[in-house]
Amino acid sequence: MGMSVTIAAATEDDAERILKLQYLCYQGEAELYGDYSLAPLTQSLADLRAELDAGPVLVARLGDEVVGSVRATVDGDGTAVISGLMVHPRMQRHGLGGRLLAAVEERLAAERSARRYRLAAGHRNEGNLRLYRKWGYEPVATEQLTRKITLVTLEKGAASVHGDARQEAAALARSA
């Protein structure tokens, strides 16, 4: 009998688990760019705990194990910045990233009156860029962070959340 993945708000007790998952998940990104000094790989537990207090942080659990996470903040203009979307490597390509993205968008719209969503991905990370485009995000800017890394910023309006993402989340939930 299999277990199903649940998505819920992170607790203070999840901080260490999220940090360990982050370290695991960003190894591939570091390898892709040949840069192991990426911020997610050097973030301290104290900094992560501060992010837990700054805005919604969701976790995906398989039993007691944290197998995914996402975090966000909303500025005064109603722009939600979504970051730290990660899924354990063994759980990838099963729709969990999309479920986490839909869940945080829904929460931001309902609780923080988000009007627009913004996130970013490295220019070589085709998997993430494909996921974000699938969920209605469009590239709006690029920024050269280092000689090796260009960051692609993508956005979509909140109106997109109430249609496509909700239907997609429902379809994913049924197939899980």
- Under a CB-based contact definition with an 8 Å cutoff, are residues 106 and 121 in contact? no
Helices marked H in 59-138 — which ranges?
Answer: 96-112, 126-134
Q: What is the sign of the dihedral through the CA atoms of 82, 69, 124 and 167? A: negative
Question: In tens digits, what is the pLDDT along the chain, a chain of 176 residues?
Answer: 457 999 999 999 999 999 999 999 999 999 999 999 999 999 999 999 998 888 899 999 999 999 999 999 999 999 999 999 999 999 999 999 999 999 999 999 999 999 999 999 999 999 999 999 999 999 999 999 989 999 999 999 987 554 444 445 444 444 44
- Under a CB-based contact definition with an 8 Å cutoff, are residues 95 and 155 in contact? no
- Under a CB-based contact definition with an 8 Å cutoff, are residues 88 and 24 in contact? yes
- Distances from the Cα of 6 to the Cα of 64, 125, 147, 149, angstroms: 10, 26, 39, 33
- Under a CB-based contact definition with an 8 Å cutoff, are residues 91 and 62 in contact? yes
d(C-alpha 126, C-alpha 128), whole Å: 6
Q: Which pLDDT score is estimated for 159?
A: 77
Other CB atoms within a 10 A radius of the CB of residue 91 amount to 16
Please compute, for residue 85, the number of CA atoms within 13 A of its CA located in the half-sphere on the CB side.
Answer: 26
Q: Which pLDDT score is estimated for 26?
A: 95
Its pTM stands at 0.87
| Helix (H/G/I), strand (E/B), else coil: 112 | helix
